[in-house]
Amino acid sequence: MVALSFLLLVPALPERSLSRAAHVATLSYGTLFKDPQLWRLALLSGLSIGSAWALQGLWAAAWMSDVAGFDRATLVTYLFVMSLTLSAGALGLGAAISILKRWGIGPAKILPGMVFLLIGAEFLLTARHLLPSIIPWCLVAFMSAGTVATYSITADVFDRSTLGRVNGAINLFHIGGAFLVQSAVGLILSRWEPTAPGHYPAQAYTVMLVVLIAGQAAALIWYLRPAKSSTARVAPLAEPSRT
């Protein structure tokens, strides 16, 4: 249905508007994955957003049950509030980025700020009693909407003719990151003796969160280093020849 909608509703780009320069500018994945700009962004975005997806999608409920001791009704309510936060974050973040750009705060600064919030939320979850746990879990859910900031960065950094492949490559890091974090969390928790089948002690979750914080902090430090030139910044599309 989505493909059919594009076919029927999106106007076709006139073939004459695609110059030879546009075809020359086409970026291969081989070239893209050698680009330092891509790796700086993809590792930070993939690890932080992937962690948020993994926690919200699989491990938040386990933490709420094993560590906080919530009953099923409270657990489901918290997960519902997190879902609302994710939806509101995805909707509001795009508008917020547009407004902040007018004040000189671009998405390249917004994404690291969101990662700081994620790290802070994970720290609060390790401390447990500093704030009600719904607050840090909502911050984790907000990070799940961070793809909005990531795609805004790629639109600023890379030429528009390359954005399809750039965003496709970064999506690989998002989904792959979520899978790897889900698996890594399971491996870490399994190092402890279960308190009941499928349930683990609070210490196991604390260690897991500390490992995630360390990985995200390392990716953030690398992202904030001075950037090298990007091989994927190809020249803008040339005007079609009129001869």
Q: Let me know if 184 is exposed, middle or buried by CB neighbors in 10 A (0-12, 13-18, 19+).
A: middle
Q: How many CB atoms lie within 10 A of CB 27?
A: 21
User: Is residue 122, in this structure, part of any structural domain at all?
Assistant: yes
Domain count, the chain: 1
Would the pTM count as exceeding 0.85?
no
Q: What is the domain-level CATH number for residue 159?
A: 1.20.1250.20
User: Is residue 62, in this structure, part of any structural domain at all?
Assistant: yes
Rounded Cα distance, 191 and 195, in Å: 12
User: Is residue 47, in this structure, part of any structural domain at all?
Assistant: yes
User: Is residue 230, in this structure, part of any structural domain at all?
Assistant: no
pLDDT at 101: 86
pLDDT at 57: 93
Residues with Cβ within 8 Å of residue 36, at least 6 apart in sequence: 227, 228, 229, 230
Are 174 and 45 within 8 A, CB to CB? Answer: yes
Are 67 and 202 within 8 A, CB to CB? Answer: yes
Are 199 and 66 within 8 A, CB to CB? Answer: yes
Owning domain of residue 67:
31-224
Q: How far is CA 109 from CA 23, 67, 114, 233, in A?
A: 32, 34, 9, 20
pLDDT at 220: 95
pLDDT at 134: 95
pLDDT at 237: 30
User: Is residue 187, in this structure, part of any structural domain at all?
Assistant: yes
Low-confidence ranges of the chain (pLDDT < 70): 13-27, 227-243
Count the residues in the chain. Answer: 243
Q: Does an H or E element contain 176, and which?
A: helix 163-189
User: Is residue 132, in this structure, part of any structural domain at all?
Assistant: yes
Are 196 and 69 within 8 A, CB to CB? Answer: no
